[in-house]
Amino acid sequence: MRFVDIIEKKKLRLPLSKEEITFWIDGYVNGRIPDYQVSALCMAIYFQGMNEQETAWLCEAMLHSGDVVDLSMIHGVKMDKHSTGGVGDKTSLALAPIVAACGGKVAKMSGRGLGHTGGTLDKVESINGFQVVQSEEHFISQVNEIGIALIGQSKSLVPADQLLYALRDVSATVDSIPLIASSIMSKKLAAGADTILLDVKFGEGAFMREVHQAKKLAQTMIKNTKAILTDMNQPLGNAIGNALEVKEAIATLQGSGPKDFTQLCLEAGSIMLMQGNLAKDKQEAIAMCQESITSGKALEKLKQMCLYQGGDVTQIEDISKLPQAKEIIAIKAEKDAYIQQLHALSLGNLAMRLGAGRSKKEDAIDHGVGIVLNKKAGDKVSKGEVLAYVHTNQALSEAWMMDFHRAYEYSDTMIEKQPLIYEIIK
């Protein structure tokens, strides 16, 4: 079997066989098939797609490219949540502690940043010493003891996805539904969770631009899961950047987070509690999540997780100890107006240019830099009022500043704010 023939077949929109998909994944993981050929196949899949059977075979091949975690030793219902990614999406850092504080067993496997979106692992590594690589024994023991663990993929767990995840980022094939679906579900199945909540983003700050694309992706993965469709046409919350988003997650667990981010955590948390049979209805589940915040139990869970995984808990207790940029620059509005649109993709790319994300897979992350928004879509601004604070370790070029102001569109009349949660799919 020649890999070039597989590329040619998909280029012609022909379905791949199970044997061809297995040949691809096995050959790539074992180093027999080079990056440039896999990039070509990913691009062919991006344009020509895969049918449901092909996607299932791809997920299966990726799942069995390495070890599968046996979580049967964890007592209770094992819960997981996955977001398809978006600008300012730090949900796991607040949601997982909330659910764990309500009695859930959150066995969470997360990823690194892709393009203009930040990865949970990159964010949590803003905390000194936090170890995202753990043995299976430690992972299971930690979830049993404190109800929460947040880890990355070991080299033996779904290695095919680790390779493809990085390659898709630098080959402009991130937003392919079969590649996203197989990536997410192979990790989730390998991690051994009983219930999964998918937060499928749509909008320009997400990988799925249109809501119908997000719905199709959700329905591709919906088996034995639930999904919510959330709007990512503007950043989630106010912070964009690793340590800045950790700070915002901490503030949310203290009850002082942004309204949109807090709403998402409460809604998603309520679904997870009902999936795990820890609440009889949404009203009870929302109340449980809210109580975990007001009582301080959710914040305590974040501290416990940090302690168990080697992190410096004092950085959670005193956020000034988290990585910080050398300079904070206030950018001000140039006129009186209403903000009609706030382009999440542009802001994500601007943060990446500061060092908050990766433009290629070898890039290092600068944990302290990013953008904190002071005004969002639908807000009224006056000339000279602060739009955002830029945390930077470099001078802001004229081009960067021009691109920042282009990220905002204005109106002379009041703009209706759009709902964050578009639909819940069961």
pLDDT digits (tens, 9 = 90+) for 48-84: 999 989 999 999 999 999 888 888 899 999 998 888 7
The distance in angstroms from the start CA to the end CA of the chain is 41
Residue among 105, 116, 187, 188 flagged as catalytic: 187
For position 389, which CATH number holds?
A: 3.90.1170.30
Does residue 370 share a domain with residue 392?
A: yes
Does residue 257 share a domain with residue 124?
A: yes
Tell me what pLDDT residue 78 has.
Answer: 92
For position 30, which CATH number holds?
A: 1.20.970.10
Residue 420 lies in a domain: no
Lowest-confidence range among 218-222, 314-318, 358-362?
218-222
Tell me what pLDDT residue 20 has.
Answer: 98
Q: What is d(CA 273, CA 289) in angstroms, rounded to the nearest whole number?
A: 9
Tell which of 304, 320, 336 closes a domain. Answer: 320
State the chain's mean pLDDT as an integer: 91
Does residue 377 share a domain with residue 303?
A: no
- For 192, the token pair is 């051994």
Q: What is the CA radius of gyration of the chain?
A: 21
Query: With pLDDT > 70 as the criterion, what percentage of the chain qualifies?
Result: 96
Does residue 256 share a domain with residue 118?
A: yes
Residue among 122, 161, 175, 366 flagged as catalytic: 161
Does residue 292 share a domain with residue 192?
A: yes
Collapse the DSSP code of 128 into the 3-class scheme (helix H, G, I; strand E, B; otherwise coil) and give the result: coil
Given a cut of 90, whether residue 184 has pLDDT beyond it is no
Q: Is 161 a catalytic residue?
A: yes
Lowest-confidence range among 205-209, 217-221, 247-251, 403-407?
205-209
Given a cut of 90, whether residue 281 has pLDDT beyond it is yes
- Pairing type for strands 421-425 and 78-83 reads unpaired
Q: What is d(CA 277, CA 271) in angstroms, rounded to the nearest whole number?
A: 10
Does residue 304 share a domain with residue 370?
A: no
Residue 18 lies in a domain: yes
Tell which of 320, 336, 365 closes a domain. Answer: 320
Q: What is d(CA 240, CA 290) in angstroms, rounded to the nearest whole number?
A: 25
Query: In this structure, which long-range contacts are made by residues 254-261, counting pairs with CB atoms below 8 Å and at least 24 apart in sequence?
Result: 254/293, 254/299, 255/293, 255/294, 257/94, 260/236, 260/420, 261/88, 261/90, 261/91, 261/94, 261/236, 261/237
Only one residue has tokens 């410096």, namely: 312
Tell me what pLDDT residue 211 has.
Answer: 79
Residue 56 lies in a domain: no
Burial class (CB in 10 A: 0-12, 13-18, 19+), 146: buried
Does residue 356 share a domain with residue 308?
A: no
Given a cut of 70, whether residue 218 has pLDDT beyond it is no
Average the pLDDT over 332-358 and give the result: 94
412 DSSP 8-state letter: S
Domain tally for the chain?
3
The pTM is what? 0.84
Higher-pLDDT residue of 226, 369: 369
Tell me what pLDDT residue 208 has.
Answer: 61
Residue among 108, 168, 215, 391 flagged as catalytic: 168
- For 209, the token pair is 């631009």
Q: Is 82 a catalytic residue?
A: yes
Residue 113 lies in a domain: yes
Lowest-confidence range among 22-36, 166-180, 323-337?
166-180
Tell me what pLDDT residue 209 has.
Answer: 66
Residue among 78, 81, 82, 367 flagged as catalytic: 82
Length of the chain: 426
Tell me what pLDDT residue 113 has.
Answer: 65
Given a cut of 60, whether residue 222 has pLDDT beyond it is no
Does residue 236 share a domain with residue 162?
A: yes
Q: What is d(CA 291, CA 283) in angstroms, rounded to the nearest whole number?
A: 12
Residue 163 lies in a domain: yes
Residue 241's domain comprises: 78-320
Report the amino acid identity of residue 117.
T
Only one residue has tokens 């639908």, namely: 378
Digit-coded pLDDT (tens) for 77-93: 999 888 877 788 899 99
* Beta-carbon count within 10 A of 108 CB: 23
Does residue 258 share a domain with residue 131?
A: yes
Residue 73 lies in a domain: no
Average the pLDDT over 313-326 and give the result: 98
- For 190, the token pair is 């390998």
Q: Is 405 a catalytic residue?
A: no
Confidence of residue 340 (pLDDT cuts 50, 70, 90): very high
Q: Is 343 a catalytic residue?
A: no
H-state helical runs in 222-328: 242-253, 259-275, 282-294, 297-308, 314-317
Given a cut of 80, whether residue 354 has pLDDT beyond it is yes
Average the pLDDT over 419-425 and give the result: 89
Does residue 221 share a domain with residue 368?
A: no
Q: Give strand ranges (E) for 312-401.
A: 327-332, 337-342, 370-373, 380-381, 386-392
Q: What is d(CA 320, CA 233) in angstroms, rounded to the nearest whole number?
A: 30
Tell me what pLDDT residue 200 has.
Answer: 81
